[in-house]
Structure 1
Amino acid sequence: MDLPPSPSQVPPQLLADPVFVQALAGRDFAVVFAMAHQAGVSFNRISEGCGIKADRVSKVARGKAAVTALETIERIADGLRIPGAFLGLAARSWEDKAASPGAELDEGDDPMQRRRLLRGALAAGLTGTALTALATTRQSLDQALAAEVPADLADLEAAAESYGYGYHGQPPTRVLADLVADFAEIRPLLADPGPVAQRVRVCRIAGQMAGMAAIVLHDLGARTEARGWFATASRAAAESGDRQLHAWILAREAMVPLNYGAPKAAVALAERARHTAGSRPTAAATLAASVAARAYALAHQDDQAREALTAADRCMECLDDSQRADTWLTHGEQKHHVHLSHALTALGDTRRARESQTRALELSAPTSTMTRTLLKIDAAACAHHDGDTEQACRRTTAALTHLPADYRTGLVHRRARDLYRSIPATHQHERAVRDLRDALAA
């Protein structure tokens, strides 16, 4: 039976406030309670509605206490009438499906309508509304992974294969919207009983698509959301029994901390990926060794980085043509040199780094906008390492300036900012350095 209206219900406009939505996603109840109070919901009402003592509500709102227990979080969702998806929970019993965030994206709706809604939400950027829609779609499959499977999967397998070819000149948000719309089609296949072999196929597709959605979110700079999608991908891959897919997901996940300032965490994930992939030379094993080399280099563990580079090269030489294809799910020569470029640049081996940059650019299609930009920033970092800081800044500024707006993502910005931060203070007054700083600020 539905619950009656709650006197502590937060005003509907709060659920459209990006700050409030972000606080809910992070379960930051200091912000949640404080904003609810500012919107006219007294601490006493929050206390009564959520079954929490009033003095504790006040302490939480002031950051003097925290809420971590799942049972308490569920009482807060029910007391404040916050739909479960906002807090990473299942839909609450009182929720009106039509008013639930992401409900318009439910699997019962027309797939084209779902795709249009996702594109519209993402076109405005990774706002609270868009992130809620993404999380709702992912969590719905998480809930269904406990069930069994069904039917003809050829279309979904073909869709997963097509997404593996990357952006192909499309804006990342457009690719993400389409990916998530197709990903939502997987859930019904997990809801019906069927042969084990069919469930294995469905879980494999789910792992591939969730992994690729995580890649796009990583490229866009949405680290928390990327980790959530990688977790779903890992769960699906583990259930499918495909160790190579699981290793690929772990290696790709390692690139989140790798590219956002946590190389030691990246090392741990990359080594897990190497262990999962096993000793055979596969695309996943080659990727895992390549990512490990980059992480070790950034962590200033040069010997381990060179060992991983040697292992990656050795694996690469043994890959057959199917595993050398130029897709996200395989490990082609172009991708290999992109990884080598970054690892060798971090190691200060600028001669070999430039060789890999040149080869990677030769193999990159003109539509590989993001990859080509990252290679240019690596080349600029080599120039800085070799003493030409002015040229390094000019190259990086040009790379950022000429980049289409849709590709000015968190990853590209972070790589350029890392170069800027490596420039000694004695150079900060120089024109080229100031131009780079202004380009980053813009």
Structure 2
Amino acid sequence: MAHKSSCAARIRTAAASEGRPVAAVVDAIVECCGVSRLRGQRLARGWTLQEAVDRLIDLCDTEGLERPRLDLDQLRAWETSSRRPRAQTIDLLCRLYQSDAAGLGLAGDYRPTSGSTASRFTAVATPSVHSQVLPTPAGDPLDVLVDAARRVVESTLASSTVSATQLEILDERMMDLRRSYVFTPPATMLLELLRDLDEVRLLSQERQPAHVQVRLSEMTALLSTLIADALMKLGRIQQAQRWYGTARTAADDSGNTDLRARVRVQAAMLPYYYGNLDRAVDLARQARLLNRNRPTATGAFAAAAEARALARQGNADGARAAIDNAQELFSRSRQGTADIDDAWAFPLRRLWLYLSGAYTYLGDTVQARHVQSQALPLYPDRTGIDPALLHLEEAMCLIHERSVTEACQLAGSTYLNVPVDHRTTLLGSRAQDVIDILPPNVQRGRAVRELGEILALPAGPR
């Protein structure tokens, strides 16, 4: 039976006179008064329930953190029952009490509760990723120590803050994000991605079983890649580069070979659109080598990305070989029925988009127009950057065919027809490429000047 609060007050007073740390006071209150560690943290500081709630709200406001849905009854329930707060709230409580989940009693603890020999102010450790303290039985016989060590390790392996249901819900959320990413403006999408990544991060901070940790690393890699992609579209090149690096780290941590390759080929888009073609080729080639010529969507994606980067470099033979490889892998990967509304998929229309870029820079306007005509009908009544990119490459084909005025008009109308929220720095850069591939003496023409004026208008999010 739990003792009255006056018992905790006497322990605090005694501890203060002996200069004991708060952690020792918590242990003593838990041992003597029979309360949970979460309540022990509060009683060790002499706070009422209301004071604890108020202090947590003040902490959130001071540090710019989202306030939890918390009142006296909720905190009391967490302290006195088996109900547990969400991972984000556990993080906030750890901040409030300057402890960790084990210190709050919110991590697994499977030790027997009887026969404790802990003294009044001896810290009793809860097995966690942060702290492991083995019990020291009288006489320290080797067999008892070995068994005690094994129990602590098994307790740690059994502890997890993520249930199967939570993991399933997170998987569903990842799929929702992948689908909405295709059509949602990047600035809006960026905020959603960051919020979800923070939830995954908090769960990853706790010790999880291996299979759960792998899934969390995979989710981190996916979210980080989409964040980098959104930043790339917004023209935030250095931030995008850093986030692609984070995505690669998370993918490598997961051990998932296909994911490691996918993150690298996604990262190749940044140097392709912003100038470092050698780097774009290198990343696409890394992805292709990781894929080992398996007939997967990622393998086809890597070959197509390498093809258009090589074509833009002027390496015609290499580009055509990569085009053949991309088409062959795609035909064997059964990706023709892939979900076209999934940003992480590589459906047929995306293959056509990449091959459009390759053929355009090869100057093969017949093939470029063919794949463009195949791809555009696959974007019915949808907004987004991909159809605009196809039209801009169509304008480049017109320039190869010496139809400069028509090309500039098409590029200008394409840019203006894109909704403002999607009219990003990346789109403006690609429209500017239509001007840049013109000979200098042609760039002074009226149609070119008008296109330049359109691109000088205030753009969308940056």
TM-score range, shorter chain: 0.5 to 0.7
Q: Deviations over 1:217-264 (max 9, x none)?
A: 112221111111111111111111111111111001011000111111
- Counterpart of 1:155? 169
**Contact 1:413–1:440 (CA<8 Å) still a contact in 2?**
yes
- Counterpart of 1:199? 213
Q: Deviations over 1:292-346 (max 9, x none)?
A: 0011011111111111111100011011359833222221001110111111101
Q: Counterpart of 2:418 in structure 1: which amino acid?
A: L
Q: Counterpart of 1:255 in structure 2: which amino acid?
A: M
Say whether 1:165 aligns with 2:175. Answer: no
- Counterpart of 1:242? 256
The 1:321–1:434 alpha-carbon spacing in structure 2 relative to 1, beyond 3 Å, is closer
Distance 1:165 1:223 in 2: 24
Say whether 1:392 aligns with 2:407. Answer: yes
- Counterpart of 1:279? 293
Say whether 1:104 aligns with 2:64. Answer: yes
- Counterpart of 1:411? 426
Measured after TM superposition, the shift of residue 166 of structure 1 is: 4.5
Tell me the secondary structure at the aligned position of residue 165 of structure 1. helix
Distance 1:156 1:367 in 2: 27
- Counterpart of 2:332? 318
- Counterpart of 1:331? 346
**1:117-132 mapped onto 2 (5 Å cutoff):** none
The 1:98–1:280 alpha-carbon spacing in structure 2 relative to 1, beyond 3 Å, is same
The 1:262–1:371 alpha-carbon spacing in structure 2 relative to 1, beyond 3 Å, is same
Q: Deviations over 1:190-209 (max 9, x none)?
A: 12112111101111111111
**Contact 2:287–2:302 (CA<8 Å) still a contact in 1?**
yes
**Contact 2:383–2:419 (CA<8 Å) still a contact in 1?**
no
Say whether 1:420 aligns with 2:380. Answer: no
- Counterpart of 2:360? 345
- Counterpart of 2:224? 210
Distance 1:105 1:302 in 2: 53
The 1:99–1:260 alpha-carbon spacing in structure 2 relative to 1, beyond 3 Å, is farther
Tell me the secondary structure at the aligned position of residue 387 of structure 1. coil
**Contact 1:297–1:343 (CA<8 Å) still a contact in 2?**
yes
Tell me the secondary structure at the aligned position of residue 426 of structure 1. coil
Q: Deviations over 1:266-288 (max 9, x none)?
A: 01111111111222111111111
Measured after TM superposition, the shift of residue 425 of structure 1 is: 2.2
**Contact 1:167–1:368 (CA<8 Å) still a contact in 2?**
no
Q: Deviations over 1:111-170 (max 9, x none)?
A: xxxxxxxxxxxxxxxxxxxxxxxxxxxxxxxxxxx9996413112111111222253543
Tell me the secondary structure at the aligned position of residue 164 of structure 1. helix
**Contact 2:336–2:348 (CA<8 Å) still a contact in 1?**
no
**Contact 1:377–1:415 (CA<8 Å) still a contact in 2?**
yes
Q: State the superposition RMSD in angstroms.
A: 2.2
Distance 1:412 1:275 in 2: 30
The 1:356–1:230 alpha-carbon spacing in structure 2 relative to 1, beyond 3 Å, is same
**Contact 2:178–2:343 (CA<8 Å) still a contact in 1?**
yes
**Contact 1:282–1:323 (CA<8 Å) still a contact in 2?**
no
Q: Counterpart of 2:237 in structure 1: which amino acid?
A: R
Measured after TM superposition, the shift of residue 365 of structure 1 is: 3.3
**1:26-41 mapped onto 2 (5 Å cutoff):** none
The 1:157–1:355 alpha-carbon spacing in structure 2 relative to 1, beyond 3 Å, is same
Tell me the secondary structure at the aligned position of residue 293 of structure 1. helix
Say whether 1:367 aligns with 2:327. Answer: no
The 1:335–1:105 alpha-carbon spacing in structure 2 relative to 1, beyond 3 Å, is farther
Larger radius of gyration, structure 1 or 2? 2
- Counterpart of 2:265? 251
Q: Counterpart of 2:64 in structure 1: which amino acid?
A: E
Measured after TM superposition, the shift of residue 98 of structure 1 is: 6.1
**Contact 1:323–1:330 (CA<8 Å) still a contact in 2?**
no
Tell me the secondary structure at the aligned position of residue 179 of structure 2. coil
Distance 1:323 1:308 in 2: 23
Match for residue 322 of structure 2 among 294, 308, 321:
308
Match for residue 310 of structure 2 among 296, 304, 315:
296
The 1:309–1:157 alpha-carbon spacing in structure 2 relative to 1, beyond 3 Å, is same
Identity of aligned residues (%): 30
The 1:150–1:428 alpha-carbon spacing in structure 2 relative to 1, beyond 3 Å, is same
The 1:109–1:235 alpha-carbon spacing in structure 2 relative to 1, beyond 3 Å, is farther
Distance 2:296 2:172 in 1: 22
Tell me the secondary structure at the aligned position of residue 181 of structure 2. coil
The 1:206–1:430 alpha-carbon spacing in structure 2 relative to 1, beyond 3 Å, is same
Measured after TM superposition, the shift of residue 369 of structure 1 is: 2.6
- Counterpart of 2:49? none
TM-score (norm 1): 0.66
The answer for unaligned runs of 5 or more in structure 1 is: 1-95, 111-145
